[in-house]
Amino acid sequence: AQSVTQLGSHVSVSEGALVLLRCNYSSSVPPYLFWYVQYPNQGLQLLLKYTSAATLVKGINGFEAEFKKSETSFHLTKPSAHMSDAAEYFCAVTRGSGTASKLTFGTGTRLQVTL
């Protein structure tokens, strides 16, 4: 069964520092992987997605993620954190295929950005 594991429920970085949010996946088939961001009391916004094309995926707000099959990882990075990046981040993987596909979410990582 497809699943994702997010290491670290809470990550704190200084403004301007590198952001690294970890996600490892488990999938018996080539996965589609996603990173979403959620601000307080809001829905989810798609940051980026991997759909078996380029392994380095660039998303919005300066975020990117690299799909590493050998490590079963899809970590999210941003070179320089901004205060506005403080939010909850979810990694997700598709389970099922085609019209029957659904998303399985990780437990989330709360990113705190300090001055």
Partner 1 sequence: GAVVSQHPSRVICKSGTSVKIECRSLDFQATTMFWYRQFPKQSLMLMATSNEGSKATYEQGVEKDKFLINHASLTLSTLTVTSAHPEDSSFYICSARPGNYEQYFGPGTRLTVT
Nearer to partner 1, 37 or 113 (CB): 37
Using the rule CB under 8 A, give the single segment among 19-27, 42-50, 55-63, 65-73 that binds partner 1: 42-50
Picking from 57, 53, 9, the residue whose alpha carbon sits closest to that of residue 35 is: 57
List C-alpha distances in Å: 113 to 13, 48, 49.
Answer: 5, 21, 24
* Residues numbered 49-108 forming contacts with partner 1, rule: CB under 8 A: 49, 51, 90, 94, 97-99, 101-108
Q: Is 28 in the site for partner 1 (CB under 8 A)?
A: no
Contact 46, 90 (CB under 8 A): no
Residue 71: DSSP 8-state: T
Q: Which residues bind partner 1 (CB under 8 A)?
A: 32, 36, 41-46, 49, 51, 90, 94, 97-99, 101-108, 110
